[in-house]
Amino acid sequence: MFGLGRTKSAQPLAAEPVRKEHGKNRPTPKRREAEAANRRPIVVNDRKAAQRTQRDKNRQLRNKQRQAVNTGDEAHLPPQHAGPVRRTVRDIVDSRFNIGELYLPVVLLLLVGLILPGLLSGNTTDVAQWQQAVSMSLYAFIAAVAFDTWLSWRRTKRQLRERFGDDVNLRGLLGYLFTRSISIRSLRRPPVKVKRGQQPR
């Protein structure tokens, strides 16, 4: 009995398994850094490719809008010309004669008449009187353009409200109307689509 007890007590205790801090399945810090370094160029390349694609799309859109301004293709007009309200403004301006159509040629002619006599004539009194007359004519013409634009704007506002309702947004349309009304008819962009006396589309 005493021998059996010594045999049992002599057996060594089983050692507890040692837990490893880092298993083989977990990447070491150096491996994680390597993987991050490998992924980083892919992200940069994707971003550059996306930017390049977006630039190409923007360039194609600008080309299409520029062509639409020259041809009058309303489906691809840029925002400053797009929409039924601005189309109606263009048609109202184009359907009548505007004094502003003569703005550029008349102003150039009056400026030549203002400068040329002073270069050709030695009589300062006559030149001064002539220049005063030309200046007054220029002021009178500008006043006529302003009055004609005011009449056109009143008519345009009335027709826009009749067509699109009283809550139609008129912001920016006066400048749009004025810019088109002082442009030579054949050079207007988008091009003229209605004849004089014709109703807006």
Establish how many alpha carbons lie within 13 A of residue 5's alpha carbon, considering only the half-sphere containing its beta carbon. Answer: 2
pLDDT digits (tens, 9 = 90+) for 95-148: 999 999 999 999 999 888 888 877 776 677 778 888 888 889 999 999 999 999
- Per-residue pLDDT tens for 171-197? 999 999 999 999 999 999 999 999 998
Distance (Å, whole) CA 7 – CA 191: 113
In this prediction, residue 65 carries a pLDDT of 82
Query: Per-residue pLDDT averaged across 57-75, rounded?
Result: 86
Residue 37 vs residue 165, higher pLDDT: 165
Query: Is residue 104 classed as helix, strand or coil in its secondary structure?
Result: helix
Give whichever of 67-71, 170-174, 197-201 has the largest mean pLDDT: 170-174
Instruction: Say yes or no to pLDDT of 94 above 60.
Output: yes
Burial bucket for residue 22 (CB in 10 Å: 0-12, 13-18, 19+): exposed
Query: Over 60: is that where the pLDDT of 70 sits?
Result: yes
Q: Is 191:72 a contact under the CB 8 Å cutoff? A: yes
